[in-house]
């Protein structure tokens, strides 16, 4: 059976997108799923946050997209069990310009590159860039579904409308089967009215698509990427690990 491809996306930075990608990948791997994590963000935070040394990278996702390397040539093992990574470096920041220069903006290059390995994994996760440009469109055009992390802060819903418009445009023009798999509330503080209000507002609009698991503000979640480890490998007894474990189980349940 071919992999389920999930884009983790939100054009707002600082919402826990990369933290969610790393810990979803690691959590799925620990439950026996074979996972490919594609870092599609030029900042490369998923790459370093899951234990890939930048000096050890011969080829990255830029080489796959622009320099016609096979995705296997740019796939590396990492610190998490059952997880492989296609890393990103700052080179990826220039990918949009290269694609425009070569008149390849209408082609879904990522999908073409993933097709040869889609049967080798249970899940392929794409950590999308915090923007709505060509890279994000390629990711959404490739994915079966999108998971949107949303922080429980005052401006959390700002920009969500724009992201939903982009998703609807991609559905209409490139990928009619794309759907929103779920909304994950991050940086949740159950003691504040604001967090509860944001959660209620999201549930009002997205109903059952809002995950029951909420990700708390947690120091161990902030520390883990600096060690190149998922929260499960860094502090498996922490509140952050427990929250992500509940989230991972919900994702598996959604996909059968």
pLDDT at position 214 over 80: yes
The alpha carbon of residue 1 and the mean position of all alpha carbons in its chain are separated, in whole angstroms, by 21
Q: What is the pLDDT of residue 236?
A: 94
Taken in order of first residue, the domains within the chain and their CATH numbers are 4-255 (3.40.50.300)
**Region for residue 187 given its phi and psi (left: phi exceeds 0; alpha: psi -120 to 50; beta: otherwise):** left
CA–CA dist 125, 80 (Å, integer): 14
Confidence of residue 104 (pLDDT cuts 50, 70, 90): low
The pairing of strands 76-77 and 145-151 is: unpaired
Confidence of residue 90 (pLDDT cuts 50, 70, 90): very high
- Bigger pLDDT: 38 or 163? 38
DSSP secondary structure string, 171-182? HHHT-TT-EEEE
Q: What is the pLDDT of residue 54?
A: 87
pLDDT at position 105 over 60: no
Q: What is the pLDDT of residue 256?
A: 63
Give the model confidence (pLDDT) of 49-74 as tens digits.
Answer: 999 998 899 999 999 999 999 999 99
**Which of 214, 229, 226, 183 lies closest to 29, judged by CA?**
229
Averaged pLDDT of the chain: 91
Q: What is the pLDDT of residue 95?
A: 84
Residue 247's alpha-carbon distances to 33, 102, 108, in angstroms, are: 15, 41, 30
- Bigger pLDDT: 161 or 222? 222
Q: What is the pLDDT of residue 191?
A: 75
**Which of 146, 149, 150, 105 lies closest to 125, judged by CA?**
146
Give the model confidence (pLDDT) of 133-189 as tens digits.
Answer: 888 889 999 999 999 999 887 777 777 888 888 899 999 999 999 999 999 999 888
- Bigger pLDDT: 244 or 13? 244
């Amino acid at each position: 059976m071919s992999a389920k491809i999930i884009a983790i996306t939100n054009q707002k930075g600082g919402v826990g997108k990369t933290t969610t990608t790393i810990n979803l990948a690691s959590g799925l791997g620990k439950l026996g799923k074979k996972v490919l994590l594609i870092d599609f963000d030029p900042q490369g935070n998923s790459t370093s946050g899951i234990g890939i040394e930048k000096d050890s990278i011969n080829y990255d996702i830029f080489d796959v997209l622009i320099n016609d390397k096979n995705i296997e040539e740019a796939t590396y093992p990492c610190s998490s069990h059952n997880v492989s990574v296609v890393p990103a470096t700052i080179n990826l920041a220039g990918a949009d310009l290269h694609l425009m220069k070569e008149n390849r903006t209408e082609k879904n290059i990522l999908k073409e590159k993933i097709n040869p390995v889609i049967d080798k994994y249970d899940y392929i996760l794409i950590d999308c860039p915090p923007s709505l440009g060509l890279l994000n469109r390629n990711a959404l055009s490739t994915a079966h579904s999108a998971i949107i992390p949303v922080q429980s802060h005052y401006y959390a819903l700002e920009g969500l409308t724009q992201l939903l418009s982009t998703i609807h445009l991609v559905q209409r023009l490139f990928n009619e089967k794309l759907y929103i798999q779920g909304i994950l509330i991050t940086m949740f503080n159950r003691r504040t009215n604001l967090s509860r209000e944001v959660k209620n507002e999201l549930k009002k609009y997205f109903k059952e698509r809002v995950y029951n698991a909420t990700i708390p503000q947690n120091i161990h979640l902030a520390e883990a990427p600096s060690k190149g480890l998922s929260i499960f490998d860094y502090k498996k007894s922490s509140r952050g690990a427990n929250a992500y474990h509940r989230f991972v189980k919900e994702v598996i349940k959604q996909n059968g």
